[in-house]
Structure 1
């Protein structure tokens, strides 16, 4: 919420990501940004996904700067959970539309549990 309150509405996703990385570092919270995740099909490596943030080696966190979250964002988080074996992912959207309608206290989010 700190980042959500301090940054201008409509900032780029990369700006929110860099700010979150800085905030996590300030709070001494371990994270890895942009972790590559292998994707296999019937035992064969067919590609890779990228998790926005891995927090404390147990939570996937995805930041999206979009007008509203879409089911594909939840699906992406679920894919990351499958690839890592983690049980919890959070998808956060410091959305311009929500901020305009409800003020800076609103933060669109989805919790994905596997």
Structure 2
């Protein structure tokens, strides 16, 4: 999938989750719903993928 198309699909999935669930849940609820919505759209993703962050030469 082209990057622009992928970006549009991910944003659309986020809107769908937000519009379906509304506000007030813990982040994990939205995270799980987002994974379901991405899978339905044929997009593979990993939850809580570890990312190394370096800030001013510190990790």
Q: Same fold per TM (> 0.5)?
A: yes
Greater helix share, structure number: 2
Matches within 5 A, 1:2-21: 2-21=16-35
- Alignment deviations for residues 78-106 of structure 1 (CA, whole Å, 9 cap, x no partner): xxxxxxxxxxxxxxxxxxxxxxxxxxxxx
Q: CA RMSD in A?
A: 1.9
Which has the higher relative contact order, 1 or 2, with Cα contacts under 8 A spaced 6 or more apart? 2
Unmatched tracts of structure 2, length 5 or more: 1-14
Task: State how many pairs are aligned.
Answer: 43
Unmatched tracts of structure 1, length 5 or more: 47-114
Post-superposition, which runs of at least 4 consecutive aligned residues in structure 1 deviate over 3 A? none
Partner of 2:37: 23
